[in-house]
Structure 1
Amino acid sequence: MTTRTTSESSAAAPLLDLQALVVAVRRRRRLWCSMALLGLFVGATLAVLLPTPPTAVTKVLVAHREDQPNDPGTLIRTDVALLGTTRIAGRALQSLKSPAKPEDFVQDYGGTGLTNNLLQISVTGQSDAEAVARAKALADAFVADHVRRIRDTANAEAKALLDQRDRTQDELAEVNKAVGDGSPKGGAKAPASLESLFARRAELTSRISDLGRRAAEAHIGTPQLIAGTQIVDAPHAVRRSLPRTAATDAAIGFALGLVLGLAVAAVGTVVADRPVLRRDIAANLGASVLAELPRRSARRWQRRRTRAARERLATSLARTVRGSAEPVSLLELGCARSTSVIALALAGALAADGPVVIVDGLPNAQLAGRRPEPGGPTVVSGERAAAVSHEELRFGVGSVAPGTAWTDLPYLGTQTVLVVRAGHGSAAWLHTVARQLADQRIAVIGVVLIDPDPRDRTDGTLWDGLGTALCGRPERPARQSGTGRRRAELLPMWARVPNNDQEAR
Structure 2
Amino acid sequence: MTTSTPSESSTAAPLFDLQALVVAVRRRRRLWSAMALLGLVIGAAVAVLLPPPPSAVTKVLVAHAEDQPNDTGTLIRTDVELLGTTRIAELALRSLKSPEKPEDFMKDYRGTGLTNNLLQIEVTGDSDADAEARAKALADAFVADHVRRMQEAAKAESQALLDQRDRMRDELAQVNAAIGDRSPESDPEASAAIESLFARRAELNSRIADFDQRAADARTGTPKVVAGTQIVDAPRALRHSLPKSAATNAAIGLVLGLVLGLGLAAVGTVVADRPVLRRDIAANLGASVIAELPRRSGRLWRRRRTRATRERLTATLARTVRGSAEPVSLLELGSARGTSAIALALAKALAADGPVVVVDGLPGTQLAHRRPKPGDPTVVPGERAAAVSHDERRIGVGSVAPGTPWTDLQYLGTQTVLVVRAGHASAAWLHTVARQLADQSIPVIGVVLIDPDPRDRTDGTLWDGLHTALRGRSEIPVRQHGGGTSHAVQAVGEGARRTERQPVWAARGPDNDQEAR
State the TM-score, normalized to the length of structure 1: 0.85
Q: Compared with structure 1, are the counterparts of its residues 153 and 312 closer, same or farther at alpha carbon in structure 2 (3 Å cutoff)?
A: same
| 1:433 counterpart letter in structure 2 | V
SS of structure 1 residue aligned to 2:424 = coil
Q: Compared with structure 1, are the counterparts of its residues 201 and 404 closer, same or farther at alpha carbon in structure 2 (3 Å cutoff)?
A: farther
| 1:316 shift after superposition | 0.9
After TM superposition, the structure 1 = structure 2 runs for residues 213-362 of structure 1, keeping only pairs within 5 Å, are: 213-362=213-362
SS of structure 1 residue aligned to 2:295 = coil
| 2:361 counterpart letter in structure 1 | G
Mapped partners of 1:227, 1:301: distance in 2: 79
Mapped partners of 2:344, 2:401: distance in 1: 21
Mapped partners of 2:205, 2:333: distance in 1: 103
Answer yes or no: is the 8 Å Cα contact 1:465–1:493 preserved in 2. no
Aligned equivalent of 1:448: 448
Answer yes or no: is the 8 Å Cα contact 1:274–1:427 preserved in 2. yes
Answer yes or no: is the 8 Å Cα contact 2:24–2:269 preserved in 1. yes
| 2:501 counterpart letter in structure 1 | L
- Describe the superposition over 1:36-61 as per-residue Cα deviations: whole angstroms up to 9, x where unpaired: 22122212222222222222111222
Mapped partners of 1:22, 1:385: distance in 2: 44
| 1:373 shift after superposition | 4.1
Q: Compared with structure 1, are the counterparts of its residues 444 and 116 closer, same or farther at alpha carbon in structure 2 (3 Å cutoff)?
A: farther
Mapped partners of 1:166, 1:356: distance in 2: 126
| 1:209 shift after superposition | 4.3
**Which deviates further from its counterpart, 139-148 or 15-24?**
15-24
Mapped partners of 1:386, 1:212: distance in 2: 123
Instruction: Tell me whether 1:492 sits opposite 2:476 in the alignment.
Output: no
Answer yes or no: is the 8 Å Cα contact 2:348–2:375 preserved in 1. no
| 1:375 shift after superposition | 4.5
Mapped partners of 2:15, 2:67: distance in 1: 54
Answer yes or no: is the 8 Å Cα contact 1:5–1:494 preserved in 2. no
Unpaired stretches in structure 1, ≥5 consecutive residues = 477-485, 498-505
| 1:491 counterpart letter in structure 2 | R
| 1:12 shift after superposition | 3.1
| 2:427 counterpart letter in structure 1 | A
Aligned equivalent of 1:383: 383
Mapped partners of 1:174, 1:7: distance in 2: 107
Q: Compared with structure 1, are the counterparts of its residues 96 and 351 closer, same or farther at alpha carbon in structure 2 (3 Å cutoff)?
A: same
Q: Compared with structure 1, are the counterparts of its residues 49 and 388 closer, same or farther at alpha carbon in structure 2 (3 Å cutoff)?
A: same
| 1:256 shift after superposition | 2.0
- Describe the superposition over 1:415-459 as per-residue Cα deviations: whole angstroms up to 9, x where unpaired: 222211112222333233223333333222121111112222222
Mapped partners of 2:271, 2:450: distance in 1: 22
Aligned equivalent of 2:409: 409
Aligned equivalent of 1:90: 90
Mapped partners of 2:175, 2:91: distance in 1: 52
Mapped partners of 2:211, 2:93: distance in 1: 42
| 1:376 shift after superposition | 2.7
| 1:350 shift after superposition | 1.7
Mapped partners of 1:440, 1:161: distance in 2: 106
- Describe the superposition over 1:441-500 as per-residue Cα deviations: whole angstroms up to 9, x where unpaired: 322212111111222222222334434432124779xxxxxxxxx955461365779xxx
Mapped partners of 1:314, 1:222: distance in 2: 98
Aligned equivalent of 1:481: none
Answer yes or no: is the 8 Å Cα contact 1:278–1:458 preserved in 2. yes
Aligned equivalent of 1:433: 433
- Describe the superposition over 1:89-129 as per-residue Cα deviations: whole angstroms up to 9, x where unpaired: 22111112222222222222222222333222222222211
After TM superposition, the structure 1 = structure 2 runs for residues 140-179 of structure 1, keeping only pairs within 5 Å, are: 140-167=140-167, 169=169
Answer yes or no: is the 8 Å Cα contact 1:418–1:447 preserved in 2. yes
**Which deviates further from its counterpart, 401-410 or 208-217?**
208-217
Q: Compared with structure 1, are the counterparts of its residues 175 and 439 closer, same or farther at alpha carbon in structure 2 (3 Å cutoff)?
A: farther
| 1:294 shift after superposition | 0.7
Mapped partners of 2:166, 2:389: distance in 1: 125
Unpaired stretches in structure 2, ≥5 consecutive residues = 477-495, 508-517
| 1:293 shift after superposition | 0.7
Mapped partners of 2:221, 2:414: distance in 1: 100
**Which deviates further from its counterpart, 91-100 or 355-364?**
355-364
- Describe the superposition over 1:300-342 as per-residue Cα deviations: whole angstroms up to 9, x where unpaired: 2322322221121111111112222333222222112211211
After TM superposition, the structure 1 = structure 2 runs for residues 42-81 of structure 1, keeping only pairs within 5 Å, are: 42-81=42-81
- Describe the superposition over 1:331-371 as per-residue Cα deviations: whole angstroms up to 9, x where unpaired: 22211221121121122122222222223222222212223
Answer yes or no: is the 8 Å Cα contact 1:93–1:99 preserved in 2. yes
Mapped partners of 1:422, 1:325: distance in 2: 31
| 1:281 shift after superposition | 2.0
**Which deviates further from its counterpart, 340-349 or 236-245?**
236-245
**Which deviates further from its counterpart, 68-77 or 128-137?**
68-77
| 1:389 shift after superposition | 5.3
Mapped partners of 2:324, 2:173: distance in 1: 127
Mapped partners of 1:60, 1:300: distance in 2: 67
Mapped partners of 1:211, 1:470: distance in 2: 108
Mapped partners of 1:397, 1:170: distance in 2: 119
Answer yes or no: is the 8 Å Cα contact 1:331–1:399 preserved in 2. yes
Q: Compared with structure 1, are the counterparts of its residues 170 and 435 closer, same or farther at alpha carbon in structure 2 (3 Å cutoff)?
A: farther
Mapped partners of 1:198, 1:237: distance in 2: 70
- Describe the superposition over 1:68-106 as per-residue Cα deviations: whole angstroms up to 9, x where unpaired: 444443333332222222221221111122222222222
Q: Compared with structure 1, are the counterparts of its residues 496 and 387 closer, same or farther at alpha carbon in structure 2 (3 Å cutoff)?
A: farther
| 1:5 shift after superposition | 5.2
**Which deviates further from its counterpart, 465-474 or 167-176?**
167-176
**Which deviates further from its counterpart, 126-135 or 240-249?**
240-249
SS of structure 2 residue aligned to 1:291 = strand
Mapped partners of 2:221, 2:446: distance in 1: 90
SS of structure 1 residue aligned to 2:461 = coil
Aligned equivalent of 1:21: 21
SS of structure 2 residue aligned to 1:111 = strand
| 1:268 shift after superposition | 2.0
Q: How many residues are matched?
A: 485
Mapped partners of 1:233, 1:130: distance in 2: 17
Aligned equivalent of 2:134: 134
Mapped partners of 1:70, 1:345: distance in 2: 85
SS of structure 1 residue aligned to 2:470 = coil
SS of structure 1 residue aligned to 2:471 = coil
- Describe the superposition over 1:377-432 as per-residue Cα deviations: whole angstroms up to 9, x where unpaired: 33333432244456641122222222333333333223222211112222333233
Aligned equivalent of 1:9: 9
Aligned equivalent of 1:370: 370
